[in-house]
Amino acid sequence: MADAKAYDLKAVGASFCIYGDFLAGGRYGSGHINDTFAITYDQAGTKIRYILQRINHNIFKNPVAVMENIQRVTAHLGAKMAGKPEGSRHILTLVPARDGRPYFQDAAGNTWRCYLFIEKATTYDIITGVEQARKAAGSFGAFQGLLVDLPGRLHETIPNFHNTESRFEALEKAIAADAAGRAKLCQPEIEFALKHKHLASALLDLQRKGLVPERVTHNDTKLNNVMLDDATGEGICVIDLDTVMPGLALHDFGDMIRTATSPAAEDEQDLSKVTMRMPYFEALVQGYLSTAGSFLNQTEKDNLALGGQILTFECGIRFLADFLAGDVYFKVHKENHNLHRCRTQFKLAADIGAKLDAMNALVKTLDKK
In sequence order, what DSSP letters do the residues of 236-251 get, joined into one string?
EEE--GGG-EEE-HHH
SS3 301: helix
**Dmax over Cα atoms in the chain, in whole Å?**
62
H or E stretch including 24?
strand 21-27
Q: Which of ligand GN1, ligand ADP, Mg ion, none interacts with 243 (beta carbon under 5 to 8 A by kind)?
A: ligand GN1
One of 123, 157, 312, 338 touching ligand ADP (CB under 6 A)? 123
* 67-106 b/e (C-beta count within 10 Å ≥ 16 → b): bbbbbbbbebbbeebeeeeeeebbbbbbbbbeeeebbbbe
Min separation Cβ 270 and ligand GN1, Å: 19
Determine, following the binding rule CB under 6 A, whether residue 222 of this chain makes contact with ligand GN1.
Answer: yes
Which of ligand ADP, Mg ion, ligand GN1, none does residue 92 bind (CB under 5 to 8 Å by kind)?
ligand ADP
- Per CB under 6 A, 117 contacts ligand ADP: yes
33 binds ligand GN1 (CB under 6 A): yes
Site string for ligand GN1, 55-74 (x = CB under 6 A): ----x---------------
Work out the number of other CB atoms within 10 angstroms of the CB of residue 61: 11
CA of 115: how far to CAs of 23, 50, 273, 306, in Å?
Answer: 17, 6, 36, 35
Nearer to ligand ADP, 159 or 279 (CB): 159
Q: Which stretch binds ligand GN1 (CB under 6 A): 25-33, 36-44, 128-136, 195-203?
A: 25-33
Q: Give how far the C-alpha of residue 158 lies from the chain's centroid of Cα atoms, to the nearest Å.
A: 13
Query: What does the DSSP 8-state code read for residue 334?
Result: S
> With CB under 6 A, what is the number of residues at the site for ligand GN1?
12
Nearest distance from residue 219's CB to Mg ion, in Å? 11
Question: Which DSSP helix (H) or strand (E) runs through 114?
Answer: strand 111-116
Determine if 254 is a binding residue for ligand GN1 (CB under 6 A): no
Binds ligand GN1 (CB under 6 A): choice among 266, 268, 322, 327: 266
Among 225, 291, 338, 344, binds ligand ADP (CB under 6 A): 225
Interface with ligand ADP, residue 224, by CB under 6 A:
yes
303 binds ligand GN1 (CB under 6 A): no
Dihedral (CA of 54, 126, 141, 338) sign: positive
In the complex, the residues that contact ligand ADP under the rule CB under 6 A are 28-29, 31, 33-34, 36, 51, 92, 115, 117-118, 123, 224-225, 239-240
